[in-house]
Amino acid sequence: MTAESLSDPELGYTVVSIPDGLDATQTKVLQDFIAYDKATWRIWFGGGKDTTGIDKVATGSTLQHVINNAAKMKADGRRAQPPVRVSVSDVYVDGGGVSAQVTICVDQRKMSMLDDKGNDVTTQADRGQVPLATRMVHPGNNGWLATEEQQGQDGECSVD
């Protein structure tokens, strides 16, 4: 698995780097996290109109948060415009293998926000490099689901 193999040029989603030496469990956690992250970006780039499948990659408060944000974006008529870049700094799996945490830095410096007429309404708050830590749980099936997310402050990490 490489950063390039996790990227999605069509979506405008680029994984810049991943940690070296991940074991099989960490690799699966990272793959499932990237599936979750791409699903959320599809929602934001689509203006919140389609949340189909988000329940297959997220659960708990994160699932509700994504659904609520999508409804707000849809009501506001706003949508994000790619690109977005991601650097994965850590994939930690607890000793019991039932929860994990993926730590990333999201680079949104070239992303913009558009209104319902396609006008650029990007604010400085929409752009930046932001650290995120996402807790993943393994509910007993073959996959890991995003369940909780903590966001840091702009400038606390770097993708470059």
Could you tell me how many residues make up the chain?
160
Q: Looking at residue 79, what is its pLDDT?
A: 92
CB 26 within 8 A of CB 124: no
pLDDT along the chain (160 residues), means of 10: 95 96 95 96 92 92 93 91 96 90 95 92 88 91 90 89
| Maximal CA-CA distance, the chain | 50
Q: Looking at residue 129, what is its pLDDT?
A: 92
Interior angle at CA 145, CA 51 and CA 137, nearest 5? 155
pTM for the predicted model, two decimal places: 0.94
Write the Ramachandran bin of 26: left for phi over 0, alpha for psi from -120 to 50, otherwise beta.
Answer: alpha
Both tokens assigned to 63: 């699932």
Query: What's at 86, amino acid-wise?
Result: V
